[in-house]
Amino acid sequence: MSHQPPHPLPGDAAPEHPTADVEAVCVEASDVHGTDDEPGTSASAHRPTVRPATGGLSVAFVPGIMPSKWFGRWQERFGARIPLDPVPLEEDGDPLAVLQRREAHAALLRPEAAPGSRDRDRWHAVPLYRERPVVVLPADHVLTLLDEVPVAELASERLLQDLAEVPAWARLRAEHLQAAGQIERELPAMRHTGDAVELVAAGLGLLVVPMSLARLHHRKDLVHRPVPDLPETEVHLVWPRLPEPQASGEQAAAEEAVIQEFVGITRGRRAGSSRGEAAQERPAPAGKRGRVSGDRTSAGSRRTRSPSSAPHRGRKTPRRGRRSPR
C-alpha cells in the first residue's frame, strides 16, 4: 500500500510561528527507558494527512504496536494546537521507507524487522519497551498442554519463518533434522504474518512472534504460549537523524522540538517538566508559595527575615513552674 505525500514537512516552507524550542535529547539505542506494561489499545486505522511539524506531528506505527496511550496524552497536552496524525502501516509496509518519503515524522517499529533502523548515522532511536515471544499453535496441538513452551520443545516442529528470525530454534532444528536424516522443507509463499497465521491454522507449521502480533491475529482455532528462553523483541521510536536537505535553522529546530515533545511523552515525562514546551508555557499555580531550600525559595529569590522574626539568641526563658538552673 503506497502513501501519497500530502502536505510538505517543515523544511519546505518557513513557519510563521516556530514552536518554542525545547532542550533536545539526543538519545541513542543504548539509552533504554522501558516500561513494564505495554501501552494502551490500538489507534483506529485511517489514512492521515501529514502536516508540517510546526503545526502538527505524524507518527507511523507497525501492526501490533498499540500507541493510543501516548497519542491520548499528546491530545490532552497539546490538543488542536499541535495536532497528531496517526499513520497505521500495513503488515508488509516499510516504516523506514515511509520516513524517507517524508510521509511521517517518526515511526514506532521493531528493529528486528527493520534492521536499517540500527544505523546511528541516519536514525535516532529511543527504546520504549520489550515484547515477550510466543509460539502460535493450533488449539488441538499437544504443546498447548504446557503453560510455557521451551525452545527445545520446538526442535521437532516446523516454524513458518526464516531461520534467522529464531536462531536458537534454528540450531536445535538443524541438530534434530541431522539426527533424523531429514532436510528442512521449503517454506510456502507468505506475504506477511497474517498469511503465516492462516497456514498455522491449516496445520502446516507453527509460528514464533511477539505477543502483540499473536493477539492481533487471534482466532478461536489458535492459541499462543510464551517461549521463555527466547530473547524479547524491542519496540523503538525512530526518526531521521539528519534534517531534510532543504530544512535549516529554525525550521529544522522547530521540527526536532516537536518530535522531542513526543519523545518525552513516550518516556513518561510530565507536562510540567522543564525539558518540555508545556513547562515553558504553563504558569505557576496561584496561591502557592515557593518551597524553602536553605535561604532561597524554589523560585530562586533570597528570603529575608524581618527583625521581629529573627531568632532570639539570649538565654532561653524557663517554662512556668520550673526553676532556672544556677
Q: Kindly write down the DSSP assignment for every residue of 10-70, as one continuous string.
A: GGGS--SSPPPP-------TT-----SS--S-PPPP-------TTT-EEEEE-TT---HHH
Could you report the per-residue pLDDT of 98-150, keeping only the tens digit for each? Answer: 999 999 999 999 999 999 999 999 999 999 999 999 999 999 999 999 999 99
Please say whether the dihedral angle defined by the alpha carbons of residues 140, 141, 143 and 149, taken in this order, is positive or negative.
Answer: negative
Could you report the per-residue pLDDT of 270-318, keeping only the tens digit for each? Answer: 776 655 554 344 333 344 333 434 444 444 445 545 444 455 555 555 5
Q: Report the CATH number of the 10-131+233-281 domain.
A: 3.40.190.10
Give the Å distances, CA to CA, from 62 to 43, 95, 105, 238. Answer: 11, 7, 14, 12
Phi/psi at 310 (nearest 5 deg)? -65, 140
Instruction: Evaluate whether the domain defined by 133-226 bears CATH number 1.10.530.10.
Output: no
Residue 56's pLDDT band, with cuts at 50, 70 and 90, is: confident
Query: Are the beta carbons of 11 and 246 closer than 8 angstroms?
Result: yes
Report pLDDT for 317.
55
Element (H or E) spanning 84, and its range?
A: strand 84-88
| End-to-end Cα separation, the chain, in angstroms | 96
Report pLDDT for 23.
31
pLDDT surpasses 70 at 80: yes
Whole-model pTM: value is 0.67
Residue 167's pLDDT band, with cuts at 50, 70 and 90, is: very high
pLDDT surpasses 50 at 47: no
| Number of CB atoms found within 10 A of residue 187's CB | 16
Residue 221, judged by CB atoms within 10 A of its CB (0-12, 13-18, 19+), counts as exposed
Q: How far apart are CA 307 and CA 225, in angstroms?
A: 74
- Written as nine digits, the cell of 265 is 511523552
Domain with CATH 3.40.190.10 in the chain: 10-131+233-281, 133-226
Q: How far apart are CA 25 and CA 33, in angstroms?
A: 13
Considering the chain, what percentage of its residues have pLDDT values greater than 70?
64
